[in-house]
Amino acid sequence: MHARADASADTTASWPQDIFAILQRFEVRQVPYVPDAGHSQLIERVLASSTMRGIPLTTEEEGVALLAGAWAGGQRGVLLMQSSGVGNCINMLSLTQIFRFPFLTLVTMRGEWGEFNPWQAPMGSTVPAVLELSGIKVLRASHPPEVREVVEAAAGQAYNACTPTAVLLSQRLIGAKVFTK
Amino acid sequence: MNKANLLDRREVVAKLLADRKDAIAVGGLGASTYDIAAAGDNARNFYLWGGMGGAVMIGLGLALAQPKLPVVVITGDGEMLMGMGSLATVGLQKPANLSIIVLDNECYGETGGQTSHTESAADLVGIARACGIGDARALATLAEIEAFAPSLHDTSHGPRFASVKIDAANLERVLSSRDGTFIVNRLRGALGFDPI
């Protein structure tokens, strides 16, 4: 379900580069992720980076705990995941309130905006509420030009104010996965 | 429940941390946190009272952030089973300064002693090794614990994993701080990081 090896994602979009530049500027070091096609460009940049470490996870909740440890050790991180992964994180998200650490996650959305696969809809629909109930501030970017300022604001409040924050990258931004023509 | 010849968990942890120097110790939710507290409070102790399944990942984040410091995760079999995937994540990252020790009493001691998967089926040492943690072993005697303890300070040849079968007796709780912001900021302070 997480796999989204897909031809629809625009591999030439510039907003993933904008995100990478912001993460660099905020001196992000650890980048745990469960792959999603919407994050593929960013993941490639991270894996090629000399200052960031891309860390593949078996499940998204690992990333929440990893970032708590990274902060305890003096490093910033960001968790990359797809909307279905938010559900996997719920109990571990309690660490964001307990440790009051600078939690930032970038969530690529499924289950909205022309979604073909109905199995993505239930979790995709509850992502904003689940995050908010878990004490995470939720911002959203739906159009390429706004990605930069939304991610900048999110990184600022997460890293400078220890306000746990999620940015939802809308399916409208990424493009619906095409299963049939 | 108690079996003969199994090790006393407090004695095991006391020996592991007896000469801890600058090591960071992460205690998994449950009795492992009490064991670390019983061995002596320390600014470099990272006590967990929740987030079950997260101890190894917290240790990994710390180990990657502080590659010159030994990071020792001490947790129980139930907590380890819940975070079993994190052994694959550690096996992939191979942090040379991370050690993972499971105190395996083959049961969920905090909740009434219900049998865990390690009692008759799951082999955590085999799982760790199969996940790419080459140095994975079972420790069965205090002499083996004593011989193993210095290796925790070797930050060039990890990650290492050890499972210790311990007596399932519920010992008197030794309560550490439960205030997460205190625990994390105290550790950060010990490592030289200021509050925001």
pLDDT one digit per residue (tens) for chain B, 196 residues: 445 679 999 999 999 999 999 999 999 999 999 999 999 999 999 999 999 999 999 999 999 999 999 999 999 999 999 999 999 999 999 999 999 999 999 999 999 999 999 999 999 999 999 999 999 999 999 999 999 999 999 999 999 999 999 999 999 999 999 999 999 999 999 999 998 8
List Cβ neighbours of B57 (8 Å cut-off, separation of 6 or more).
A62, A63, A65, A66, A69, B83, B86, B89
**How close does chain A come to B65, measured CA to CA in Å?**
5
* Per-residue confidence (pLDDT) for residue A1, from 0 to 100: 41
Please judge whether B61 and A75 are an interchain contact, meaning their C-beta atoms are less than 8 angstroms apart. yes
Q: How far apart are CA A154 and CA A43, in angstroms?
A: 19
Q: Please name the residue ranges forming H helices in A36-163.
A: 40-48, 61-72, 83-88, 94-99, 121-133, 144-161
Mutation choice for A interface testing from B58, B60, B82, B98 by most A CBs within 10 A: B58
Which residues in B lie closer than 8 A to residue A55 (C-beta atoms)?
60, 64, 89, 93
Which helix (H) or strand (E) is B88 found in, with range?
A: helix B85-93
Report which secondary-structure segment, H or E, holds A54. strand A53-56
Q: Tell me, what amino acid is at B105? A: N
User: Domain locations in chain A?
Assistant: 15-135+148-174
The answer, for A52 touching chain B at a CB cutoff of 8 Å, is no
Backbone φ, ψ for residue B68 (5° rounding) = -90, -10
Name the token pair of B171. 């010992």
A77/A24 Cα distance (integer angstroms): 11
Q: Do B191 and A73 touch (CB under 8 A)?
A: yes
Question: Is the CB of residue A139 less than 8 Å from the CB of residue A150?
Answer: yes
H helix or E strand, kind and range, residue B165: strand B160-165
User: Could you read off the pLDDT of A134-162 as tens digits, one per residue?
Assistant: 999 999 999 999 999 999 999 999 999 99
Return phi, psi of residue B179, to 5°. Answer: -90, 105
- At residue A177, the pLDDT reads 78
The answer to whether A112 and A73 have CB atoms below 8 angstroms apart is no
Q: What pLDDT is stored for residue A10 in this prediction?
A: 58
pLDDT-flagged residues of chain A (< 50): 1-8
Spell out which chain B residues touch chain A, with contact meaning CB-CB distance below 8 angstroms: 24, 26, 46, 50-55, 57-66, 83, 85-86, 88-89, 92-93, 180-181, 183-184, 187-188, 191-193, 196
Residues of A in contact with B63 (CB under 8 A): 69, 73
Which CATH number is B9-190 given? 3.40.50.970
CA atoms within 13 A on the CB side of B44: 19
Q: Determine, for residues B184 and A72 on separate chains, whether the beta-carbon distance falls below 8 Å.
A: yes
Query: Quick check: B52 and A74 CB within 8 A?
Result: no
Judged on CB neighbours under 10 Å (0-12, 13-18, 19+), B93 is middle
Please tell me the predicted confidence (pLDDT) of residue B4.
61
CB-nearest to B193 from A57, A63, A74 is: A74
Peptide bond into A145 cis (omega under 30): no
Give the C-alpha distances (Å, rounded to integers) separating A125 from A81, A87, A118, B78: 15, 11, 11, 32
CA distance A66 to A78: 10
- Report domain A15-135+148-174's class: alpha beta
The structure's pTM equals 0.95
**Chain B residues inside the 8 Å CB shell of A91:** 50-52
Type of residue numbered A163: T
State yes or no: ipTM above 0.90. yes
